[in-house]
């Protein structure tokens, strides 16, 4: 009898805790979806058996429910506060934020991040996205020339040449006075066996910087080869 009573006393708070992890249908319907974690990265909120889950950087996370609108994510060491009326998630203020407010806006249906558009080979949408980032924050790390250049060569190493071309093209739009941006685009066209566009871009690279040794060597090699 005593053992049964102790077992019951142990189970009551556990059952209460499990029940508190459940979320209302209204909350589920309103909060489900994808949010901008930053200008080029999304965080997804979804539910299983009315329990909230978060997908972030290809990981499924199970936040701890604090109250009906707040959840603590251990992997981020952050508390997410949902503002359903504004379709936003806000990070709870803490000292490490240095008084900066972090708000994640909900994406519209079908809306994607610029990099996701790149992965879909949707150049125009990706370009619009990166131009918008540049307009809002010209110093954003996301649109740094070397960041995009590194992404483009990563695509080339994976033999995703069209994606690489699109990234390098975007870099030339964002940085039209960069000799290196056009040189990289020339490399991508060259890997795609598009010699004419490769030559044009190596020439553009040299127009901006006549001392670009890499472009000069590749251009001489291509033009000499065409004469053979």
pLDDT value, residue 14: 42
Fold that domain 22-105 belongs to in CATH? Lipocalin (2.40.128)
Digit-by-digit pLDDT tens for the chain (228 residues) are 545 544 444 444 444 444 578 999 999 999 999 999 999 999 999 999 999 999 999 999 999 999 999 999 999 999 999 999 999 999 999 999 999 999 999 999 999 999 999 999 999 999 999 999 999 999 999 999 999 999 999 999 999 999 999 999 999 999 999 999 999 999 999 999 999 999 999 999 999 999 999 999 999 999 886 555
Same fold: 22-105 with 114-227: no
> What is the CATH superfamily name and number for domain 114-227?
Tetratricopeptide repeat domain (1.25.40.10)
- What are the DSSP calls for 92-122, one per residue? PP-GGGTT---EEEBPPTT---HHHHHHTT-
Which residue(s) pair with 44 in the sheet?
A: 34, 55
Q: What pTM value is reported for the model? A: 0.82
Q: Within 13 Å, how many C-alpha atoms sit on residue 213's CB side?
A: 0
Q: Where are the domains of the chain?
A: 22-105, 114-227
- What are the DSSP calls for 144-158, one per residue? -HHHHHHHHHHHHHT
């Amino acid at each position: 009898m005593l053992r049964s009573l102790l077992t019951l006393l142990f189970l009551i708070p556990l059952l209460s805790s499990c029940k508190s992890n459940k979320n209302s249908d209204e909350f589920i319907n309103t909060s489900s979806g994808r949010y901008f974690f930053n200008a080029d990265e999304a965080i997804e909120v979804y539910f299983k058996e009315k329990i909230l889950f978060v997908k972030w950087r290809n990981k499924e996370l199970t936040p701890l429910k604090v109250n009906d609108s707040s959840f603590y994510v251990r992997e981020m060491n952050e508390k997410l506060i949902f503002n359903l009326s504004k379709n936003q998630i806000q990070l709870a203020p803490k000292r490490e934020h240095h008084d900066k407010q972090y708000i994640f806006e909900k994406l519209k249906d079908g809306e994607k991040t610029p990099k996701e558009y790149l992965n879909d080979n949707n150049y125009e949408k990706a370009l619009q996205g990166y131009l918008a980032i540049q307009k809002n924050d010209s110093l954003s790390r996301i649109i740094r020339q070397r960041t995009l250049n590194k992404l483009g060569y990563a695509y080339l190493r994976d033999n995703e040449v069209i994606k690489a071309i699109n990234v390098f093209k975007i870099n030339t739009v964002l940085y039209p006075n960069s000799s290196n941006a056009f040189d990289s685009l020339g490399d991508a066209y060259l890997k795609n066996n598009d010699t004419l566009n490769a030559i044009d871009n190596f020439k553009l690279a040299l127009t901006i910087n006549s001392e670009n040794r890499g472009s000069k060597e590749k251009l001489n090699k291509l033009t000499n080869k065409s004469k053979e």
